[in-house]
Structure 1
Amino acid sequence: MEISARIGSRKTLLTILGSAAFMVLLQAYLVAPLVPVLTHDFQSTDAITGLAVPAYTIPYGLSTLFYGPLSDRLGRKPVLLTLLGLMALSMFLIALSPTIEIFLLLRVVTGITTGGIVPISIALFGDIYPFAERGKPLGVLYGAMAGGMTFGSTLGAYLNPLIGWRSEFVTTGGLCLILFLWAASEHRNFPAKSPAGTTLKEVFSNAKALMQRRQSRSLYAYVFLNGVFHSGVFAWLGYFFKLKFNLDDQGIGLALLGYGVPGMLLGISIGNAADKYGRQRLIPIGLALGALSVCLLAFKLPLLAAAAAVTVLSLGYDMTQPLFAGMVTSLVDHSKRGQAVGLSACMLFLGYGTGALVFQWFMTWGLDMALIVFAIFEALLFLFALRLFKFSWS
């Protein structure tokens, strides 16, 4: 059921939850550009340090399945406030990591503790906003996530020579702590009630029922496989610019500056275009852009052209995954929508973790070959999408 809230309370919650989504994605994307320096500082290998991406994304994806039902039973407020506090604590602990093994373990813990923040925020918007008014808060949330991606991928590498990666995590932890204290001070603005609880058995039975439908399987498969593609490439972009152009940390940060910018600037426009022209038309274009950008990266490009290709890659993401999320909400009625979204988040972040590992495996054939294989993979998704989404979705 929907819970009424004062306009002022809703604006406060929107700001808090948008800030939380920003911080979740910022700290998530902070790590990939730091792989070269982490390898050096921990006297490890790129193969081991590269596990920092799946070590976070796979636990994150699995945990999203359970936080929705948990917040149904215990309430959105206590679960969300707890997770915000744990996110801050995990940042401080990561900064103290003495070995790569401890660093990876703490990334696993961080994935688990942050996995519920965005899904619970989406569920909370469903609690306090009527259906006809949910577009704006969700737009703000996804825009904040795109901003977190942009600043995380850029600042991670750029600030390291200035303050060091440990200080980056301390600073991020400080910002998360401020956010937690702010949310706790505004706890009265959180609705006190939540929808009826869902049992663990119902979580799996509902997921099973969803996956029995061909339309659902196709959509969730695309969420997963497109996540494999984008994460696999992004996780190694820092290594790419280091190897191809011998950039230092600040140079890598600047080269990645365009990643996430399309989502920040064009997110609302892409959503409006999807409503006007149909998601089944925009999604294949996004898949094609992703394939083209990665194919170009495999060839000898000038530095500025490679940075532009990274921006186009980001645009390909913004024209696919957010639109998939909108389609997921049409799979079920409102009473099961939260679980459908949670399952989508699970598939997406499992794809993120899998992609980094798969790309690393293909790198045994060389970086350029890995890029070409992933470009071909995304091109095949584009070709299948032309037919699948034309005939399966209105």
Structure 2
Amino acid sequence: MTELAKKYGGGKGLLLILGICAFFVGLDSMLVSPLIPKISETTNTPMERGGLLITAYALVYGLTAPLFGPISDRVGRRFMIVTGMFVFSIGTFLTGISNDFDTILFFRAVTGLAGAIVMPSVFALVGDTFPAHERGKAMGMVMGAMIGSTVIGVPVGAFITEFVHWQMTFWVVGFLAFLVFLLAFIGLPQTPPQKQRSDSMIKTYFMPFKTAFTNRSVLYALLLTFFWTAGLHGMFSYIGVFYHDVFNLDVGGIGIVLFMAGLTSVFGNLFGGKWSDKIGEKKVIYFASFSAALFVLSFSLLTGYLYLSVFIHLFWSASIGVGQSSLTAFVSQLSPRIRGTVMSLNSSAMYLGMTIASSFASLLLVNFTFFSLGVLCAISVLLVLPIIGRIRQ
């Protein structure tokens, strides 16, 4: 156990703060989904443009996350997390101040930028604090908090909007996020930056990128994360459409299914993290990849049996959770000296995989069936297997 972990009661206090930060970043990423019809109505914007509110967050997050990795390695994790949470709270609050769609879109992008500042440093701090035999469990708890937030993100946003106004949703979450900023400011330990070299500022900034991109294992890991995320979000982006078109479920019914699936994913993250500490991350990722591919393919085939489809969906979500915590823990230990840079690049690979997969899925469903989407997602997840076999720890 590291000195940081000992200082915080075996790391439990530290994990609590990091988990709360991850919870709010995850919550905000999904919060806008049920609000799109109301925002479109208020701003007199076509419903089709509403999806840009999600795209703006994810795309800015994916493109900017690598920029903050070297800064995290140089100035310390605490500074990045505290700064990011402050910007995050303000950006979320200001999203609700305007009835102009472009202004709302701008502040969604600001919030995505803040998330890109926070999360790579959260993952890096977990990697810095916990030794290898405890890292999977710790990473599983943080990932569980992040994914668990999506379980309540959609119903909470819909509930507040149903009884008040969509703007109040952002005000409430923004205010609570500001309290989290204060908690992080007071509760997170000072994390020492790396020793400075006498090189120029530009050379010093780009040196971690050079180190990362000349490390073959890191490159393979980023590719692994991309395909893993694409295999998930290719189907997940249109899971609501699947249940509506195939089984004629209404919004309430779809919400219940997604809530149950979210819970199984959270438990999968917690279990996968503990399991990887016992038998190793690679073995858990192998298992999760096979099972996720099998279940997503089976799910796309079961168009005549609602309860069986839901049953398979739950196992698919659990498999994704098991693999996600193990994958994140695995990547975090590949290059400890530039861990912040590696985790920021990993976050970028994750969100770009999400964006590209959802866009490609949209094009695919115009001419083909959900089964073709299931095949694509299964292939994407299975591509993880040959890649991880080439990574040396």
For 2:109, the equivalent position in structure 1 comes to: 108
Q: Residue 357 of structure 2 corresponds to which residue in structure 1? A: 355
Partner of 1:373: 372
Instruction: Find the counterpart in structure 2 of residue 268 from structure 1.
Output: 270
Match of 1:314 in 2: 317
* Conservation of the 8 A alpha-carbon contact between 1:2 and 1:126: no
SS in structure 2 at match of 1:195: coil
Question: 1:39–1:45: 8 Å Cα contact kept in structure 2?
Answer: yes
Q: Secondary structure at the match of 1:260?
A: helix
What is the aligned partner in structure 2 of residue 343 from structure 1? 345
**CA-CA distance at 1:223 after TM superposition:** 0.8
**1:117 to 2:124 alignment:** no
Q: In 2, distance between residues paired with 1:390 and 1:79? A: 33
CA distance in 2, matches of 1:4, 1:284: 30
CA RMSD of aligned residues (A): 3.5
Give the counterpart of 1:300 among 264, 289, 303: 303
- Report the CA distance shift for 1:343/1:93 in structure 2 as closer, same or farther (over 3 A): same
In the superposition, relative to structure 1, how do residues 321 and 134 fare at CA in structure 2: closer, same or farther (>3 Å)? closer
Q: Shift in Å at residue 238 of structure 1? A: 3.7
Aligned residues of 1:144 and 1:264 also touching (Cα < 8 A)? yes
Deviations 1:288-344 (A, max 9, x none): 444444442465345544444443332232233332223323433x21233222221
Say whether the 8 Å CA contact 1:52–1:107 is kept in structure 2. Answer: yes
- CA positional deviation for 1:75: 4.2
Superposition deviation, residue 160 in structure 1: 4.2
1:17 matched to 2:23? The reply is: no
Provide closer, same or farther for how the CA distance between residues 285 and 22 of structure 1 changes in structure 2, counting only shifts above 3 A. same
8 Å CA contact 2:231–2:380 kept in 1: the answer is no
Cα offset for 1:23? 0.8
Counterpart residue number, 1:364: 366
Tell me if structure 2 keeps the 8 A contact 1:72–1:195. yes
Shift of 1:109: 1.1
CA distance in 1, matches of 2:40, 2:231: 24
What TM-score results when the alignment is normalised by the length of structure 1? 0.82
- Structure 2 alignment gaps of length 5 or more: none
Residue matched to 2:72: 71
How far is 1:197 from its partner? 5.3
For the residues of structure 1 that align with 2:3 and 2:111, how far apart are their CA atoms? 31
Aligned counterparts of 2:300 and 2:167: Cα–Cα separation in 1: 31
Which is further off, 51-60 or 355-364? 355-364
Deviates more, 1:373-382 or 1:82-91: 373-382
* Cα gap change, 1:319 to 1:10, in 2 (>3 Å): closer
Q: How far apart are the structure 1 equivalents of 2:108 and 2:217?
A: 34
Cα offset for 1:247?
Answer: 4.8
Instruction: State the 1:359 CA deviation.
Output: 2.2
CA contact (8 A) 1:127 1:194 kept: no
The partner residue of 1:223 within 202, 220, 225 is: 225
Aligned mates of 1:335, 1:279 — CA distance in 2:
20
Question: 2:234 is matched by which residue type in structure 1?
Answer: G
Q: Is the 8 A contact 1:291 1:379 kept in 2?
A: yes
Q: Distance in 2 between matches of 1:289 and 1:143?
A: 19
Is 1:57 matched up with 2:58?
Answer: yes
Amino acid at match of 1:220: L
| Letter aligned with residue 321 of structure 2 | D
Segment of structure 1 superposing worse, 82-91 or 145-154: 145-154
Residue 106 to residue 309, structure 1, CA distance change in 2 (3 Å)? farther
Select the residue among 237, 256, 259 that pairs with 2:258: 256
- More displaced 10-residue stretch of structure 1: 20-29 or 377-386: 377-386
Aligned counterparts of 1:55 and 1:85: Cα–Cα separation in 2 = 19
- Work out whether residues 32 and 53 of structure 1, in 8 Å CA contact, stay in contact via their aligned partners in 2: yes
For residue 354 of structure 1, give the secondary structure of its aligned residue in structure 2: helix
Give the aligned partner of residue 237 of structure 1: 239
User: Where does residue 96 of structure 1 map in the other structure?
Assistant: 97
Which letter does structure 2 place at the counterpart of 1:315?
Answer: A
Aligned residue in 1 for 2:174: 173
**Structure-2 change in CA distance of 1:188 and 1:57 (3 Å):** closer
Q: CA deviation at 1:117?
A: 1.4
User: Does structure 2 conserve the Cα–Cα contact (< 8 Å) formed by 1:53 and 1:356?
Assistant: no
**Structure 1: runs of 5+ lacking an equivalent:** none
Q: Which residue, out of 328, 332, 340, partners 1:329?
A: 332
Q: Does the aligned pair in 1 maintain the 2:86–2:178 contact within 8 Å?
A: yes
The alignment of Structure 1 onto Structure 2 pairs a total of residues equal to 388
Cα distance per residue 1:114-141 (max 9 Å; x no partner): 2121222233345555666555543332
C-alpha change, 1:306 and 1:196, in structure 2 (3 Å) is farther
SS at match of 2:193: coil
Cα distance, 1:163 vs. partner? 4.2
| Mapped partners of 2:378, 2:273: distance in 1 | 23
CA contact (8 A) 1:157 1:253 kept: no
Q: Are the equivalent residues in 1 in contact too, given 2:31–2:153 (CA < 8 A)?
A: yes
Which stretch has the larger CA shift, 310-319 or 120-129?
A: 120-129
- The residue matched to 2:24 in structure 1 has which SS? helix
Give, as a single letter, the amino acid of the residue that structure 1 aligns with 2:25: V
Cα shift at 1:151: 1.9
